[in-house]
Amino acid sequence: MTRRLPIEPLLERLSGVDFTAMAIECGLDRRTFLRYRALGVPVAAADRIAVTLGLHPALVWGRGWFEEVDA
Query: How do the pLDDT tens digits run along the chain, 71 residues long?
Result: 678 999 999 888 888 878 888 889 889 999 999 999 999 999 889 989 999 989 899 899 987 777 644 43
CB of 41 within 8 A of CB of 5?
Answer: yes
Q: DSSP class of residue 3? A: -
pTM: predicted TM-score of the whole model, two decimal places:
0.78
Write the DSSP symbol of residue 31: H
Local structure of 42: helix, strand or coil: strand
